[in-house]
Structure 1
Amino acid sequence: MNYKFKIKGIALALAATISFSNVYLFSKMAMKDVDLASFGILWFGLALIYNLIYNRFFTQRQNLSSLTKKSKRILLFIGLSEFISITAFFLSINLTDNPAIVSFLANTSPIFVILIGFVFYQIRYGFISILGVIITLFGVYLMNTNNSEFEWQTLLTPASISALVFALFYGVSLVLARSEIKNIPTTMITVCRNLFLFVGFTIYLIANQELPTYSLQSVFYITTGSFLGPFLGILLTFASLKYVDASITTLIGTSRSIFIVAGAFLLMGIFPNVNQLLGGCLTILGILTITMADIIYKKK
């Protein structure tokens, strides 16, 4: 592939990573003023509008009726899995003081992808992939230690559990999407994802007979964050895949925690403690190792 094309793909993947990093920061700042349900309705309502406008004017549309029954079923499962994973993600953001910690724990999602592939698809992984899993798990262990002692209560906090639930169901969504990526347009998956989340949060508010409430500041954060993450970040990611392999895009995506740590410090004055920072770096190293193993395997 042309060298300039590779540089363009890498630049797009890096821009997508920075764009996604803002989701952690803007969502955390928004939820200081609004509850999770009010946040979810506006965040995913706007994301749905952004994506529908883009699909209407800038993509070659494909109707849902053109999909096979299997593809429709997979799309439904992706929507349900995304609803669980993203709800757990923002719940974790809401419950934790530092959004960077959520990003470190979210790095465990490739481990769940490996486990799902091994259990349900009988995919065998080599030594390098297993090494990456061990490094990542050790990073999670280190993040939950204090004075060299492992603290189960830290790992079992609602924020940590929510982050791990996100990683699990995000992995499920990824495996399902990969299984039908040739038959289901990625733009349709994106719209389905946002639609499920918007409807889910709306039903929750109606069931509790509540009305969403916002401050002017929270509206600004939600409007900006929903554009940068669920819309622009996904567009840039798909654009990068035109020029570089998916494994390269994933590899670059692991750097998002660095931007989140820097952003949390600059915008909120929050910085992880030593164990959290070292453990977070190990989770990044573990995912880099898994991704490199995938690149080596594809070259073979």
Structure 2
Amino acid sequence: MTTQANRPRGYIYTVLATISFSNVYIFSKAAMNDMSMSQFWFYWFLIAFSLNLSVVLFRGKLSVLRNIPKKSRWVLPTLGAMEIATTTLFFASIKVIENPAVTSFLGNLFPLFVTLMGVMLLKERFTRLETVGIVVVLVGAFITSYSGSAKLADFFIPGTGIVVLNALFASTTTILVKVKVKDFPPELLNFNRTFWLFLFSIGWILVSGDSLNVPGRALLNTGLGAFFGPFLAVLLLYKSFEHIEASRSSIIQALKGLFVMGGVLIYFGQLPQGYQIFGGLLSIAGVIIIAVAKLPEQYRNKKARKNNSGQKNISTVR
């Protein structure tokens, strides 16, 4: 339950989560520059899985697995398979696109796809303001992904298609969680994600035949990224949802690209092209518009729940 009093705490958690997740783009790029993808995956998800397993055991959430109805048990491996596809595309885009800030800007297609899928699959409605936000995100993504070439074959920068596919898979996973996963603790969902990803990474390293010997700097970057991203950022985000609405949190998360851009400048000494920064700012503005448009709907839902609660109390008194 959110209140005016605890909202500042929710905003603090969201800002910290956004900064933490921004580090994923930076440290994963640095790590993949010094090791193969299979090596990177193995160490990244070994660390992420170990941290999340510790949290689940400490909070006693692992016992929830035994109480999951048989008809719902297919959800966790299905989510795992979708996470493997989504995460593979995510890290592939970071590896292919030269500047991680550009990858982050293009990642703003994700809330756009979630909104569109909600309309198509869940019969949700979106307002005119959300429509404006969708158009702004699309224009921003178009500008950001422009390569500078007039040739159709080279019009978009390499990796643009990977980001689009990643956004599609990620939004599909979000819709599945929204529809089918209602009573699973957040810690269990995060544990399930890292479990299947680590299992996949073991298979990948065995098939590839790559050595587990990697440079110390690469291992350090992997460890920092795995701690900040799959572990700390997710936990902070879940914590923020206890204090503020998801749409309010989304407004702050939309600024992730700016944090990534600052981190890339400090760590790699790079900045995107001027027009890419402009496109990125447009996409951020579009996401904020979409999030702001959802706020009135949340207030209406909250008011309806309050009225229903009041009616129940009145009927009880009678």
Residue 7 to residue 211, structure 1, CA distance change in 2 (3 Å): same
Q: Distance in 1 between matches of 2:9 and 2:130?
A: 28
Cα shift at 1:168: 1.1
Cα shift at 1:212: 3.1
Q: Distance in 2 between matches of 1:107 and 1:282?
A: 10
User: What's the secondary structure of 1:97's corresponding residue?
Assistant: coil
Cα shift at 1:155: 2.8
CA offsets 1:8-34 (integer angstroms, 9 cap, x no match): 110011010000000000101111100
Q: Which moved more, 1:211-220 or 1:138-147?
A: 138-147
Which residue number in structure 1 is paired with residue 178 of structure 2?
178
Letter paired with 1:73: W
Once the two structures are superposed, the pairs formed by residues 97-112 of structure 1 within 5 Å of their partners are: 97-112=98-113
Residue 226 to residue 147, structure 1, CA distance change in 2 (3 Å): closer
When the two structures are superposed, what TM-score results if normalisation uses the length of structure 1? Answer: 0.94
Q: Distance in 1 between matches of 2:152 and 2:262?
A: 26
Query: Are 1:76 and 2:77 counterparts?
Result: yes
Retained in 2: the 8 A contact 1:30–1:219? yes
Q: Distance in 2 between matches of 1:28 and 1:210?
A: 19
Which residue number in structure 2 is paired with residue 270 of structure 1?
270
Retained in 1: the 8 A contact 2:89–2:162? yes
Q: Distance in 2 between matches of 1:147 and 1:20?
A: 29
Which residue number in structure 1 is paired with residue 285 of structure 2?
285
Which residue number in structure 2 is paired with residue 121 of structure 1?
122
Retained in 2: the 8 A contact 1:9–1:240? yes
Letter paired with 2:56: N
User: What's the secondary structure of 2:33's corresponding residue?
Assistant: coil
Query: Are 1:228 and 2:228 counterparts?
Result: yes
Q: Which moved more, 1:239-248 or 1:201-210?
A: 201-210
Retained in 1: the 8 A contact 2:145–2:160? no
Query: Are 1:205 and 2:223 counterparts?
Result: no
CA offsets 1:174-224 (integer angstroms, 9 cap, x no match): 111122342222111111111111111221222233333310001111111
User: What's the secondary structure of 2:182's corresponding residue?
Assistant: coil
Residue 51 to residue 133, structure 1, CA distance change in 2 (3 Å): same
Residue 102 to residue 57, structure 1, CA distance change in 2 (3 Å): same
CA offsets 1:123-176 (integer angstroms, 9 cap, x no match): 22221111111110000111133669686624362x222222211111111111
When the two structures are superposed, what TM-score results if normalisation uses the length of structure 2? Answer: 0.89
Matched length: 299
Q: Distance in 1 between matches of 2:299 and 2:153?
A: 40
Runs (5+) with no aligned partner, structure 2: 301-318
Q: Which moved more, 1:174-183 or 1:29-38?
A: 174-183
CA offsets 1:219-240 (integer angstroms, 9 cap, x no match): 1111111011100101111111
Retained in 1: the 8 A contact 2:139–2:282? yes
CA offsets 1:242-264 (integer angstroms, 9 cap, x no match): 11111111111111111100110
Retained in 1: the 8 A contact 2:146–2:157? no
User: What's the secondary structure of 1:224's corresponding residue?
Assistant: helix
Which residue number in structure 2 is paired with residue 219 of structure 1?
219
Retained in 2: the 8 A contact 1:154–1:160? no
Larger Rg: 2
Residue 35 to residue 3, structure 1, CA distance change in 2 (3 Å): same
Q: Distance in 2 between matches of 1:220 and 1:45?
A: 13
Q: Distance in 2 between matches of 1:105 and 1:17?
A: 16
Q: Distance in 2 between matches of 1:195 and 1:154?
A: 39
Residue 283 to residue 151, structure 1, CA distance change in 2 (3 Å): farther
Q: Distance in 1 between matches of 2:137 and 2:149?
A: 18
Retained in 2: the 8 A contact 1:67–1:183? no
Q: Distance in 1 between matches of 2:64 and 2:8?
A: 34
Cα shift at 1:296: 1.8
Retained in 2: the 8 A contact 1:110–1:171? yes
Q: Distance in 2 between matches of 1:240 and 1:67?
A: 26
Q: Distance in 2 between matches of 1:201 and 1:147?
A: 36
CA offsets 1:11-62 (integer angstroms, 9 cap, x no match): 0110100000000001011111001111011101110000111111135443
Q: Distance in 1 between matches of 2:228 and 2:216?
A: 19
Runs (5+) with no aligned partner, structure 1: none
Retained in 2: the 8 A contact 1:75–1:192? yes
Root-mean-square deviation (CA), in Å?
1.9
Q: Distance in 2 between matches of 1:168 and 1:59?
A: 34
